[in-house]
Structure 1
Amino acid sequence: MLSSCRNLYFLTPSLRESRLSARKVYRLLLQAIGSARMAHHDGRDSADFTRGISLQDIGCDDSNPSRSDLTKLLTGLDISEKGLSALNLQLGGEADDHDGPSGLKTHSSRVFVNRSLNMNTIKYVGFDMDYTLAIYKSPIYEQTSYDLIMKRLVEIGYPKELLDIEYDPSFPQRGLFFDKEYGNLLKLDMYGNILLCQHGFSDVDQAVIRQCYPNKFVSPAESRYFGMNTLFNLPEVYIQACLVNYYDTHADFKKLKSGTGVESEDLILLYSSIFQDIRMAVDYIHIEGNLKQKTIENLGLYIAKDERLPRLLKEIRDSKRKVFLITNSGWHYTDAVMEYLFDFPHGPERGSEHRPWRSYFDYIVVDAKKPLFFETGTALRQVDTKTGALKMGKFKGTVREGESVWAGGSSDSFCQLSGARGKEILFVGDHIFGDILRSKKRQGWRTFLVVPELNEEIRDWQSAQASFSRLKILEYSLSRMCRTPGGPDRDAPEKDIEKIRTEIKKTAGDMDRCHGSRFGSLFRSGSRQSYFAMQAMRYADLYAESFINLIHYPPRYLFRAPHQLMPHEQFLPSVSEPKASPGVRTISEDSPLRIAQSASTYHDEDDEDSDETAQNSPHLSTRTAN
């Protein structure tokens, strides 16, 4: 199919010169040729027909094709104008129908789609505050948090030498799991298989991994494993590694035979105890400590702001939608941060009058205690905005939109308060568990995940394309050697098979090293997607580097997800390549190129020698390398 379409593209000057990309022509013709409505023309099959067609054949201007010319072309292929509109074809740009409005060139401006979302059905748009509306500057904010946590640990009895350890922002990554029993940091794939295992600052040997984790598999839902899914966890990840490394290498301590901690002459210190102390220190600096006070005292140092924020919220409200804020932060901190985010000399537009930040929101909920908010929740109480005190009892009365601030409550009580229903709500947040997963599973809200790391991930992914292609070819070669029913190909020496397996692991490591973190990409390791990627694809309808990217899309935009085929569906005659035309070279089924182009190739998930490949995330689609 791809060969035929490329052949058409290069043989038809009108298409080649119409500013449509080859990949876009491919998609256009894929819809046409694959259609069951496609009839035989003059006894020719679909491949012969497409190979010879041109705009001149149907009476169109070959030098300057218009939208109507393309409509005639599609009509000749039995696709209606309505079908053309559905494809969102634009002659003026190369952005495809999954990437957003025509002319949206940069990844940093795009919203990526996991599940189609018609914005016309959304009546309420909600936002989290921390790391969503308020983006904390990295690494200065993590450095400050790290210093305060370490100071608190020393205050409760840990050695003062810990204060001499400098924070390394290149080490931590969110999406990891901490094993409280063995003190390991784990990066998991989408099924729970271990991709990487780190103990302190050392890689764990494969034999040790198999001893601690049979089949190299864990169940992330077990209480033994603590998931670090938010950017607030980054300093915590590094401190966990620091403390484990400190006690494992200290001359006065030796490891317990069970591998669950260390001991000295008069002390046993379990990794689970270290974890609990770190957790308590983290909670202390956020709730009782002075992290928030330090932030308020120098908001410009710690928080980035965007003058487009007022305009975006105004546009949302102008489209007859309600806007609300739900944050875990208290009222005084929320008020200070939001006041800063809207602190511009103008209003939504330059030259317009400045407006207080609360005027942009219909409902404001603080101290929400997510993810509990999406479950049983707490009592919903009004906040006295002058003192920050909570009014006694549950609220009963008339809701004055934009005037009342609420504390606590639950998603159920909020829906009763606002009149909203599940799928009418789009909620934007950064916390994969607290904001996205729970709101989706418990209430059916539509979800938008903010991934501040996304631009860097895309940049690194583009750098890793050569390694990724090589990885696919190596996997293909290995599968050829192991095709015989009785095991490896008898003609393939075992040493050759082992050589390819070693090369696969090396190439996967090369891909990981394209990323700045010790743990590689946030979304994958080699060709295997991470547990974080699985959660993002499963629970986030939309995702982007910033919520502000919504400003590039019309208020009633239809975000359409690309069609995804299961492996058995990819090779059905209706979606596979049509019969090759004479002189047109096709890609053989066994070709490494076909393996590399396959949207979804699956291996046995327990086979550590094969690098499992899952459906690419939208932002990692190979079309970005067109």
Structure 2
Amino acid sequence: MSAGSPPRDDKYLLDGETEVFCNREINMQQIRAIGFDMDYTLAQYNLAFELLAYDGAKQKLVDTFRYPEAVASFEYDSTYFRRGLVIDKERGNVIKMDRHKYVRQAYHGFSPLPSAVRKSLYMASSENIPLYTESTFVNIDTLFLLVDAYLFAQLVEYKDRHPSEIKHSYAAIYSHIRQCVDLCHRDGVIKDRVAEDPGAYIVPDPGMVTMLEQYRGSGRKTFLVTNSLWEYTDVVMNFLVGNKGPRNQDWLDLFEVVIVGSRKPAFLEDRSAYMMRVAPADGSLRNVDGVEGPVDAFLAQGKVFQGGNWKHLLEMLKLTSGDNVLYVGDHMYSDILRSKRSLGWRTCLVIPELAGEVAALQQYAGLDAGLQELRRRRLVMDEEMDSLYKSIQVLRREEKQGAQGGARTEPSTELKKLSRQLQELEEAGERLDDTIKAGCSDYHHKFHRVWGKLFESGFQESRFAKQVSTYACVYTKKASNLGMVSPERWFRTVRDSMPHDVYLALGLGGASQTEMVGADAGEPR
């Protein structure tokens, strides 16, 4: 607990490790099927897994794209970047936005851009403000992309220092990185190593099997939809159910339907995508013309498939409404946004970073309260200055009218006094702004040394937070947390707040807050 935080009883502390938070109400009694992604959802990976992609990609950059040999000696820092950031491929930048898409932080490589440069790049005019959905931007909306982001920043730095050694554009550099990382996933650099020793790369989750059995036992249908192919999926899931050697529990028994190689988000969009049945014994594929015949008889021939689309899935689950489906995933775009916006599925976003965020929120609650008090004082100061502005305007207008009638033209003592008070308040406001800015930076750095809070940018919600609140019905640290509650749970929302709610909570109220300065000069209260 920080020195700025009051002592608290542990029984009242929020547990970010196990809690499920709700944005949109879900009555689980209405959910008939629960589906899961695999990578970074059911299966959480450790640093060693990220290093497989990082080390493999940088070596391929040297061997395949002829990057300098020095690139092979780069070292990885898995903690530098966070989800919710955006890569600007053309400029070599990584940026963080608030919910209004205002860029509040921007780094070129590992160097922060000055405020003036940042603003000139990302809000120069109303005609060229980007939407950040263009192909020149990459949203870091999955933990897989942290490797890409770090390697990109390293190469941007290297190119700037040694322009003669890397002549590719920043955009070309990112394209090469993406190709190399993808190749690591396809050619066995990653998956062969994981298959050799799953425990070295996958974080065990003792609650996963219990959670799946709990929902199946309640009559819900469970399904798996992953972009990984069968061989790798079988390795990972076999490890997760606790089989360290020859299989002694068939993980397929935990699911009604398993779809591998799904090609999300295409799986959620392309009605014409064809489906093949996978033979678990040898991984061989056989074309099927959709769901052939009665569903039960069709699945009795094998329930593992590759490809297909959401229509095939719902037919096999005997469902017609997306509102009866809850899908659990970690990828904001491929798992959550598309299933929610296009199909109306209920969604659960897995956010492994959540526990750290919740713990820091509680640890540094005192700092936050202090900042809010400074902000309240600044708002009160704004009201006082506004009253002075209006009082000065009234006096000037009255004195101007008097001058036209032949009265004195020198500013009155009262006007000079009010002008002096206004100047003093403006100077005090500037000092308070500096204090708030420094305090906000210090507070954010308690959460992350570079990018601050995951769910905030400055005093606003971050773009990531807005996406979570818009597209994730519920969110939690890990999928197995759904097993910590009853299958009949009704997830309920907390009350949303608008600025006027906050103003009332802070005791702000315009003219009613303080006596209007200058009211004795004729300004109405």
Taking the aligned partners of 1:402 and 1:322, their CA distance within structure 2 comes to 18
1:187 aligns with 2:86: no
Q: 1:206 to 1:566 in 2, by over 3 A?
A: closer
Contact 2:87 2:138 in 1 (8 A): yes
Q: Is the 8 A contact 2:141 2:333 kept in 1?
A: yes
Paired residue for 1:542?
Answer: 474
2:354 is equivalent to residue 454 of structure 1:
yes
Structure 1 402/111 Cα, relative in aligned 2: closer, same or farther at 3 Å? farther
Determine the C-alpha separation between the residues in 2 that align with 1:247 and 1:269: 8
The alpha carbon displacement at 1:267 in A equals: 7.6
In 2 relative to 1, CA 114–401 (structure 1 residues): closer, same or farther, beyond 3 Å? farther
Report the Cα distance in structure 1 between the residues aligned to 2:14 and 2:425, rounded to whole angstroms.
49
- Aligned identity (percent) is 34
1:390-449 deviations in Å (ceiling 9; x for gaps): 213524244226932111111122112322220100111111111111100010000111
2:282 maps to: 387
> Following the alignment from structure 1 to structure 2, what is the Cα–Cα distance between the partners of residues 371 and 152?
27
The residue aligned with 1:403 is 302
TM-score by length of 2: 0.82
Contact (CA 8 Å) 1:172, 1:234: kept in 2 or not?
Answer: yes
* Equivalent residues of 2:41, 2:328 under 8 A apart: yes
CA RMSD of aligned residues (A): 2.9
Shift of the alpha carbon at 1:306? 2.3
How far apart in 2 are the matches of 1:324 and 1:440? Answer: 17
Q: CA deviation at 1:105?
A: 6.5
Are 1:481 and 1:492, in contact at CA under 8 Å, matched by a contact in 2?
Answer: no
Where structure 1 has 5 or more consecutive residues not aligned to the other structure, the ranges are: 1-21, 24-92, 96-103, 254-263, 346-352, 578-586, 595-626
Contact kept? 2:324, 2:345, Cα under 8 Å: yes
Q: Any idea what the Cα deviations from partners look like across 1:466-519, whole Å, max 9, x if unmatched?
A: 332222222222223333175998254433222222222211110121024521
Unaligned runs of 5+ residues in structure 2 are 1-7, 391-418, 514-525
1:494 alignment counterpart: 426
Q: Using the alignment, how far apart are the partners of 2:347 and 2:123 within structure 1?
A: 36
Determine which of 435, 440, 443 is the counterpart of 2:343: 443
- 2:379 corresponds, among 464, 473, 479, to 479
Q: Matches of 2:501 and 2:362 in 1, distance apart?
A: 28
Aligned residue identity for 2:373: I
> Which residue identity lines up with residue 353 of structure 2 in the other structure?
E
What is the deviation of 1:163?
1.6
Given that residues 228 and 260 in structure 2 are in contact (C-alpha distance below 8 angstroms), is that contact kept between their aligned partners in structure 1? yes
The alignment of Structure 1 onto Structure 2 pairs a total of residues equal to 461
Residue in 1 that maps onto 2:51: 143
Change (3 A) 1:218 1:463: farther
1:368 aligns with 2:254: no
Q: What amino acid does structure 2 have at the position aligned with 1:384?
A: A
Deviation at 1:107, TM superposition (A): 3.0
Does the 8 A contact of 2:16 with 2:359 survive in 1? no
2:153 pairs with 1:245: no
- Is 1:358 aligned with 2:252? yes
Structure 1 residue corresponding to 2:461, chosen from 508, 515, 529: 529
| Offset from partner CA, 1:349-398 (integer Å, 9 cap, x none) | xxxx9631101110000001111111115212211222323213524244
Structure 2: how far apart are the matches of 1:394 and 1:383?
14
User: More relative contact order in 1 or in 2 (CA 8 Å, sep 6+)?
Assistant: 2
Q: Which residue of structure 1 aligns with residue 486 of structure 2?
A: 554
Distance change >3 Å, CA 402–CA 191, structure 1 → 2: farther
Give the partner amino acid of 2:150. Answer: Y
Match of 2:234 in 1: 335
| Other-structure match for 2:144 | 232
Q: What does residue range 246-261 of structure 1 map to in structure 2 within 5 Å? A: 246-250=158-162, 253=163
User: Is the 2:99–2:461 Cα contact (8 Å) retained in structure 1?
Assistant: yes
Give the deviation of 1:215 after TM superposition: 5.2
- Structure-2 separation of matches of 1:360 and 1:267: 50
- 2:205: which partner in 1? 306
Aligned letter for 1:329?
S
**Aligned equivalent of 1:38:** none
SS at match of 2:168: strand
Letter in 1 for 2:456: R
Name the SS of the counterpart of 1:196 in structure 2.
strand
Q: Residue 316 of structure 1: SS of its match in structure 2?
A: helix
Per-residue deviation, 1:209? 1.0
Q: Which amino acid letter does the alignment assign opposite residue 376 of structure 2? A: Y
Map Cα deviations across residues 543-596 of structure 1 (whole Å, 9 max, x no partner): 11111112221111111111224345678xxxx79xxxxxxxxx84469xx9xx
For the Cα contact (< 8 Å) 1:173–1:237, is it kept in 2?
A: no
Partner of 1:434: 334
Asked whether the equivalents of residues 109 and 549 of structure 1 are also in contact (C-alpha less than 8 Å), the reply is yes
Confirm whether residue 292 of structure 1 aligns to residue 191 of structure 2: yes
- 2:377 & 2:76 partners in 1: Cα distance? 43
Residues 381 and 391 in structure 1, CA contact (< 8 A), matched pair in contact too: yes
Secondary structure of the residue that 1:490 maps to in structure 2?
A: helix
Q: How does 1:136-215 map to 2 (within 5 A)?
A: 136-137=45-46, 139-155=47-63, 156-214=65-123
Alignment partner of 1:163: what SS?
A: helix
Distance 1:477 1:385 in 2: 66
Distance in 2 separating the partners of 1:567 and 1:496: 25
User: Any idea what the Cα deviations from partners look like across 1:305-338, whole Å, max 9, x if unmatched?
Assistant: 2233222211111111101000000001101111
- Partners of 1:512 and 1:332 lie apart in 2 by 43
TM-aligned CA deviation for residue 213 of structure 1: 1.6
Bigger share in helix: 2
Secondary structure of 1:325's partner?
strand
For 2:343 and 2:449, locate their aligned partners in 1 and report how far apart those are by CA, in whole Å. Answer: 35
Q: Note closer, same or farther for the CA distance 1:565–1:502 as it changes in structure 2 (3 Å cut).
A: closer
Give CA-to-partner distance per residue, 1:85-104, whole Å, 9 cap, x none: xxxxxxxx977xxxxxxxx9
**Structure 1 length as normaliser, TM-score?**
0.69
The change in CA–CA distance for 1:207 and 1:335 in structure 2 (over 3 A counts) is same
Structure 1 distance, partners of 2:248, 2:206, is: 12
Distance in 2 between residues matched to 1:141 and 1:567, nearest whole Å: 43
Q: Aligned partners of 1:402, 1:588: CA distance in 2, in Å?
A: 67
- Mapping for residues 594-609 of structure 1, pairs under 5 Å: none
The one-letter code sitting in structure 2 at the alignment partner of 1:127 is F
Give the SS at the match of 1:126: strand
Q: Which residue of the partner structure matches residue 623 of structure 1?
A: none
Aligned residue for 2:76, secondary structure, equals: coil
